[in-house]
Amino acid sequence: MQADFVIIGSGSAGSAMAYRLSEDGKHSVLVLEYGGTDAGPFIQMPAALSYPMNMKRYDWGYTSEPEPHLGGRRLAAPRGKVVGGSSSINGMVYVRGHAGDFDHWEESGATGWGFRNVLPYYKRMENWTDGGHGGDPAWRGMDGPLHVTRGPRHNPLFDAFVQAGQQAGYEITEDYNGEKQEGFGPMEQTVYKGRRWSAANAYLRPALKRPNCDMLRCYVRRIVIEEGRATGVEIERGGRIEIVRANREVVLAASAFNSPKILMLSGVGPAAHLAEHGIDVVADRPGVGGNLQDHLELYIQQACIQPITLFKHWNLWSKGMIGAQWLFGKTGLGASNQFESAAFLRSKPGVAYPDIQYHFLPMAVRYDGQAAAEGHGYQAHVGPMRSKSRGRVSLASADPMAAPRIAFNYMSEDSDWEDFRRCIRLTREIFGQAAFDPYRGKEIQPGDAVQSDADLDAFISEHAESAYHPCGTCKMGAVDDPDAVVDPECRVIGVEGLRVADSSIFPRITNGNLNGPSIMTGEKAADHILGKDPLPASNQRPWMHPGWRETVKAASA
């Protein structure tokens, strides 16, 4: 019931820290996790990704408050309640983020988190295999714990999407995680030998084999702070409340929803809000729970006139065959998340680096797997990357068992609507290229009739969905920034012996999916916690479009 380092949460960052903090054998590490086992095909089979996200067994089951700019809809806000956290229920898409994202972090007060500082950590964590599809080995890591691969891209629609992007005049990239993010190209996934390569598989399992690393299944109620120092964690298990002692530090890595919730329950947060709930204030940090960001996306769906999409497998017999092939050989369609082509584009001239992301899927279906469009189709998931809208996570109650109150405040800026309309029109331009001529049927969604700004806005309001990338609620920044919650070494400002390291500390959301940046955050935070010198900064320069001020099209066009 005690350890040198007590880590709250076994997710992307928590698992990485457990691995690094226990690596030299000098320190004892205890990971606190409420969720159950990640064994079984629903989690380990990549193609089954829509199942665990919708199972109460694996998901905290949070929803947003009614969103005022989306017609009062409550949006699903899943987070992994399972070993491996959200890395065990996510879509397995691997994106580092753009160099410009991390340089912006540094400019906003997260000193030492610029691109040159984080690139060495991405290389340290990756075990990258290009699968013979080209790529950028000089920019990648080859011997880290996290296996990153590419899907086979057998379906001709994956190639059609990339060709269409080129025909529409946009950049091509062989490796959006390498020197050049901008353009159309292959998508990367955290899959290894046909299995989901979650943070639990990559980091936590190897760490738990060491004698100095252990995991305790329990519910975290709050952090115990005595005379301004975190000394332990109050937990509940088997109906009993107990204290786990931290000899050196408590490290909070419980998600963009639960990390601020636990801080507030422990007396760290906006003083007035804590007082409303009768919680004694240990440190008045108004930024705790604020700065909440996420990516929203739409699915633009097109009918396919050739029977080549995944719809042919949308029946019990075919699903059973795919499952059996995966179960016995870890091969076939079950071994990929099916997101095998991607694009990162700039929405308009004057935008320095991409602010739109595409996931392409050779089927028309909802992300939750609940409904397939009638017949064969394909779809692009598209959304803006850097919305100016900000929300907040707050306490609904002082009861530690109560869910936090989550208000994203999506689409609260006029620019959000402009960006989304542009996303829809851009997708139509790409789907209209010659590469899709052999396949293109009618537009399923939004549908040809939806053209005017007002009609597009109505469609966006009804159909925009979270991409499940919440972050920012314990912002990292300068110690004198009143909205910062942690300093650039992830230490909670105003409390000794307490750090936060997960997606909640991102000052601003990064391009693309957040699993990669969350693991990187755990990797880098571990060096800060151990007092090690950070890895030497990189002097590699990322590609920037030479004509970004004038055009969004390819530099060679």
Sequence ranges of the binding site for FAD: 4-33, 82, 90-93, 220
Residue 261 CA to residue 269 CA, distance in Å, equals 9
Choose the catalytic residue: 69, 104, 381, 469: 469
- Phi, psi (degrees; rounded to nearest 5) at 150: -125, 150
On whether the CB atoms of residues 121 and 532 are closer than 8 A, the answer is: no
What is the rounded (10 degree) CA torsion for 403, 526, 471, 265?
30
On whether the CB atoms of residues 192 and 183 are closer than 8 A, the answer is: no
Which letter does DSSP use for residue 187 in this model? -
On whether the CB atoms of residues 357 and 382 are closer than 8 A, the answer is: yes
- Phi, psi (degrees; rounded to nearest 5) at 380: -115, 130
- Phi, psi (degrees; rounded to nearest 5) at 235: -125, 165
**Nearest-CA neighbor of 471 among 379, 425, 408, 557?**
408
Measured between alpha carbons, how far is residue 99 from residues 140, 302, 465 in Å? 14, 33, 26
Mention every residue, 6+ apart, whose C-beta is less than 8 A from residue 425.
none
Residue 437 CA to residue 68 CA, distance in Å, equals 40
Half-sphere exposure of residue 532, counting CA atoms within 13 Å on the CB side? 13
Measured between alpha carbons, how far is residue 206 from residues 23, 38, 82, 435 in Å? 10, 15, 17, 45
For 173-238, strand residue ranges (E) read 183-186, 188-189, 191-192, 195-196, 213-217, 219-226, 229-237
Q: Which residues of 372-409 are buried (b: 16+ CB within 10 A; e: fewer)?
A: bbeebbbbbbbbbbbbebebbbbbeeeebeebbbbbbb
- Counting Cβ atoms within 10 Å, is residue 318 exposed (0-12), middle (13-18) or buried (19+)? middle
Phi-psi region for residue 142, left (φ > 0), alpha (ψ -120 to 50) or beta?
Answer: alpha
Residue 544 CA to residue 272 CA, distance in Å, equals 45
Radius of gyration of the chain (CA): 23
On whether the CB atoms of residues 256 and 440 are closer than 8 A, the answer is: no
- Phi, psi (degrees; rounded to nearest 5) at 290: -80, -175
User: Which residues on adjacent β-strands are paired with residue 232?
Assistant: 224, 245
277 is catalytic: no
Residue 555 CA to residue 495 CA, distance in Å, equals 50
Q: Which residues of 1-37 are buried (b: 16+ CB within 10 A; e: fewer)?
A: eebbbbbbbbbbbbbbbbbbbbbeeebbbbbbbbbee
Residue 533 CA to residue 553 CA, distance in Å, equals 42
Catalytic residues: 469
